[in-house]
Structure 1
Amino acid sequence: MSPAAAYTVLIGLVALERLAELVVSQRNLRWSRQRGGVETGAGHYPAMVALHTGLLAGCLAEVWLADRPFLPVLGWPMLAVVLAAQALRWWCIVTLGPQWNTRVVVVPGAGRVSSGPYRYLAHPNYVAVVAEGIALPLVHTAWLTALVFSVLNALLLRVRLRTESGALARLDHAESTA
């Protein structure tokens, strides 16, 4: 199998992982809404979906259309970063349990999670997203995709973090007045 074909398989596996996330997210979103969960920041969600879909498509397009080479000295370490990002992402998902989904939803009375990776970082899932957004394209030297995704993701994360921090502040306020 050529390196580009193997990379295509990797992108396919990442896409399947994203579909698994969406299944978990939808189940957890139903759980949240059944408990009075309120979503904030829904307006940026379509942009986030498009950006993350574009990352996968960009990886493939750049490797195949620009004939990017696989450079082992870069590719193997970047693959390790991708795998570490996946592990961190799923640690976040497992730690948050039914409170995790791809949207920003606050469930009254659910409480803020401060265990697992949240013991160390306020937003560990976004660390995984940033790391993966750089590393996944660079596994096969798709540097343009890594650059474009990183810039657009930084702009999106400004909105997303502001939205999520506001939602968490409301949750913290509700807990302190209860």
Structure 2
Amino acid sequence: MIFWILWGLVVLQRLSEVIIAKRNEEWMREKGALEYGQAHYKWLVGMHVGYFLFIALEWTIGAQLLHPYWFVILLGYVLLQGLRIWMLTTLGKFWNTKILVIPGEKRITEGLYSSKLRHPNYLIVTLELVLFPLLFQAYVTAVLFSIFNALFLLLIRIPAEERALGEG
């Protein structure tokens, strides 16, 4: 039961972020935003949808046990949500799931973005993709989607975002 409650809460959180992203996209496009990386965006969405389906499947057919150190893992995950909220509020209307750049706008260098870490959101997502499955001993999901995420982020998404920020 705890799995479905937490899974549902995380899915609802992500769906609410999609709504926020859509509103932000409309605002940014009104300001003349240009979109980059359209070709890979559907794969990013597919990976995240697949992640939630896969972990649900692994839980359903798997051991259905919380990790012995579930409290520590859950605490880590909750702390990541604090960082996620900080990141979202720092970027404000500029936060999006798509790569949108308003020409002439300065890059945000406050909050989590004031450090040398250029893409803190991707570090947060990477850790979430590991911790949530570990909480439920869904090791296949943790490993498989960590690999997908790392390959996708390192080889496609971050370079596309860097190019867009350099051109914007």
- TMscore range, shorter length: over 0.9
Q: Equivalent residue for 2:167?
A: 170
Residue 127 of structure 1 is matched in structure 2 by: 123
Q: Partner of 2:35: helix, strand, or coil?
A: strand
Gaps of 5+ in 1: 172-178
Which structure would you say has the larger Rg? 1
Kept in 2: contact 1:81–1:132 (CA 8 A): no
Contact 2:67/2:134 (8 A) holds in 1: no
Scaled by the length of structure 2, the TM-score of the pair is: 0.94
- Out of 33, 40, 60, the position equivalent to 2:36 is 40
C-alpha distance in structure 2 between counterparts of 1:36 and 1:137, whole Å: 39
Aligned residues: 166
**Aligned equivalents of 1:166 and 1:84: distance in 2?**
31
Tell me the equivalent position of 2:52. Answer: 56
* Aligned-pair CA distance for 1:109: 2.3
Q: Per-residue deviation at 1:110?
A: 2.1
Normalising by structure 1, we get a TM-score of 0.89
AA matched with 1:110: E
Q: Percent identity?
A: 37
Q: Which runs of 5+ in 2 are unaligned?
A: none
Q: CA RMSD in A?
A: 1.1
Is residue 72 of structure 1 aligned with residue 80 of structure 2? Answer: no
Give the CA deviation at 1:53.
1.2
Distance 2:55 2:7 in 1: 8
The whole-number CA distance in structure 2 between the counterparts of 1:86 and 1:50 is 22
**Dislocated runs of 4+, deviation >6 Å:** none
